[in-house]
Chains A and B, each alone.
Chain A
Amino acid sequence: MTTLLEVQGLHKHFGGVQAVNSCSFTAAEGQITGLIGPNGAGKSTAIDLISGFKIPDSGKVRFEGREVQGKTPHVISRMGLIRTFQSPREWPGLSVLENLILACFEPRRERFWRSLRGPSRAEKEKANEQLVEARAILDEFGLFHLRNERAGNLSGGQKRLLEFARMRMAKPRLVILDEPMGGVNPVLGERMAAAVLGFVTAGTSVVIVEHNLPFIERVTDQVVVMAEGRVIAEAPFDQLRGNPAVVDAYLGELPTYDDAES
């Protein structure tokens, strides 16, 4: 099993807060890696650092063996690592179908002069193929009937599905999902779980940050647990149950009555 993403000794502080403190973990190709931990554990900061939206104080991030720390988000994205955000970030004023088409980044076609000249025959064919693919993906996610709708008009759950659909369209090597289950009802959760598993079938490995532990248990192959900026455990989910450090981190040290009296 080859390592796709390798994070080594990542540090980041904001003022006096050490948000990520010597964080190291790996994500393997073809797997779904969960990243869990209590609030304030540094999960979101960690993925901001990995995806280039924040610059680490120190440490290394290797994606497919190449160092990417400090690179800008679009450079990392072009290498094949695409992330989502905690709240859905669709392009609200564009149609659902346009949202999908734009998920495919094509530097040549987006150049100014080429756009001015108009598409060539090959590009028109490519655009048609994309359109067919986008329709198929929308159908798969149950959004086909909404394809001409303004994306901003979708419901919260539909926006989550749209984000997944965009990812399927973009076909990255690795996708980092930041709390995809936030505000999603259980019925839709089934669909999301199937979609996450579908990424691997489509050749995209997954790192998933999530608070919903049953969901994590169901979809992940490997789980990384963070607390206070550090990685405290890295194992398949069922091996984490007995791990005292993990239990501790999630429940904290509750004050007992004895403590209060003394």
Chain B
Amino acid sequence: MIDYLVTVLTEGSIFAIMALGLNIVWGWSGDFDLAFYGYVALGAYMTLVLTVGPATNPTTYILGLTLPFPLAVALAVVSAMVLALIVGAIALRHLRGIYFSIVTLGAVYVLYVVTGQYVPLFNGYNGVSGLFDPMGDVLGLDYSSYSFFYLGLCIAVLIIVLLLTTRLNGSRFGLALRSLREDERAAAAFGRDIYVTKLKAYVLGAGLGGLGGALYAGYLTAFNPSAWSPVETIILYAAILVGGRGSTRGVVLGVAVMVMGLQEATRYLPEIANQPSFAPALRLIITGVVLVLFIRFRPQGILPERRFRDKDPAGKGDAAAVEAMVAGPKLDTGAA
């Protein structure tokens, strides 16, 4: 039971890191990015090929280095960001809304097909494997304690990511991003460089996606095209929507509800004899129904994005403070 809990929590924190990244792109900047899981996959693949050593016949993949795990993760994040810079530079230039989504969907499918078909890159459909217990031997951990270590690592990374995104959320950068989401022509009229600001957010989000992917690779020990398909992005969107688009706390809660809660709860649905695909299908149906209900009845999510609230000066009963706060030349609205 404890092993199971560790598994669920590890997976949950990894997905929360990814969702926090996607929340920067969709929640703040407002771009419905369908290529996001491509950055996750690239992060996972890069971590693998940088750590597992040279390919042995019949497998083939690029690099095949044996770098230390943290360094490989860092490089994986950088490569995800570089890819996002290329895709984003093209897709964000003039396209918005559904047009942007279609281009990013195209980009991720290109990546998906190339990864699957071009075997020398990441060993095609068989994928890359062999990353067992990264950092385990260095730290001298045995098999039973390793899973706790990895859970701790993922949670620590999640907390750092959460602190950084929370800080960005309340910063002027975060506010400027939100203004692009709300009305980008007005944002441009007030001096914001839409393209550069959106691109920054896009690359940043992809970096967090790559980080999530890198940790996911360490957790799964292997990665291949059956482990990811662009559809996987939807579960991240579902988590963000249910938790509260734009709200960092909400996104983490959303992952807890949709990824950890719903996915795990539906695991115990009764199996129907001769219908092995019934339970997974029912899980998708339940996910869909929950999404529809949220979009209809609570589109802002469980924990909505918080707006800056200016306290009511009158509430303090300090008349001078009220006067000072609103001091300024009054308009004579009668005559001009």
Contact residues of A with B, CB < 8 Å?
Answer: 51, 53, 72-74, 77-78, 82-85, 89-95, 97-98, 101-103, 105-107, 109-112, 114-116, 118-119, 131-133, 135-141, 144, 147-148, 150, 166, 170, 190-191, 193-195, 197-198, 218-219
Contacts and interface: CB of A to CB of B under 8 A. Distances in A.
Given A77-B190, A95-B308, A140 B182 contact: no
B231 interface: no
Nearest to A190: B333
Given A132-B325, A197-B336, A115 B174 contact: yes
Contacts of B168: 112, 115-116
Nearest to A89: B186
Interface residues of B, number: 43
B204 interface: yes
Given A93-B305, A95-B307, A118-B171, 10 more contacts: A74-B194, A85-B185, A85-B186, A93-B178, A94-B307, A109-B172, A115-B168, A115-B173, A139-B328, A197-B336
A148 B313 CA distance: 13
Contact of A115 (B167, B189, B191, B324): B167
Contacts of B327: 132, 136
Contacts of B173: 110-112, 114-116
Contacts of A190: 333-334, 336
A51 B188 CA distance: 10
B189 A148 contact: no
B281 interface: no
Contact of B310 (A73, A92, A131, A198): A131
B331 interface: yes
Interface string B136-166: 0000000000000000000000000000100
A116 B189 contact: no
Given A82-B189, A102-B176, A115-B173, A148 B331 contact: no
B192 A94 contact: no
B308 A91 contact: no
A150 B307 contact: yes
B272 to A, nearest CB: 45
A51 B332 CA distance: 31
B179 to A, nearest CB: 5
B185 A53 contact: yes
B2 interface: no
B198 interface: no
A115 B172 contact: yes
Nearest to B245: A93
B314 to A, nearest CB: 10
Contact of B307 (A51, A131, A148, A166): A148
Contacts of B167: 115-116, 118
B193 A74 contact: yes
22 contacts: A73-B189, A74-B193, A77-B190, A77-B191, A78-B191, A89-B186, A91-B179, A91-B182, A91-B183, A93-B181, A93-B305, A98-B308, A111-B173, A112-B200, A118-B167, A135-B310, A139-B326, A139-B328, A148-B310, A190-B333, A191-B333, A194-B332
B94 interface: no
B309 interface: yes
Contacts of A219: 336
A164 to B, nearest CB: 10
Contacts of B174: 115
Interface of B: 164, 167-168, 171-176, 178-179, 181-183, 185-194, 200, 204, 305, 307-310, 324-334, 336
B183 A148 contact: no
Interface SS, A side? helix
A150 B306 CA distance: 11
B188 A74 contact: yes
A106 B179 contact: no
B323 to A, nearest CB: 10
Top 7 closest pairs, chain A to chain B, by CB: A136-B328, A105-B191, A115-B171, A115-B173, A91-B182, A139-B326, A89-B186
A83 B185 CA distance: 11
B182 A51 contact: no
Contacts of B191: 74, 77-78, 105, 107
B202 to A, nearest CB: 12
Given A91-B182, A115-B168, A98 B334 contact: no
A89 B183 contact: yes
Contacts of B325: 132, 135-136
A82 B328 contact: no
A61 to B, nearest CB: 16
A193 B307 contact: no
* Best-buried of B174, B179, B309, B334 by chain A (most CB within 10 Å): B179
A49 to B, nearest CB: 14
Contacts of B172: 106, 109-110, 115
B326 A73 contact: no
A191 B332 CA distance: 8
A84 B333 CA distance: 22
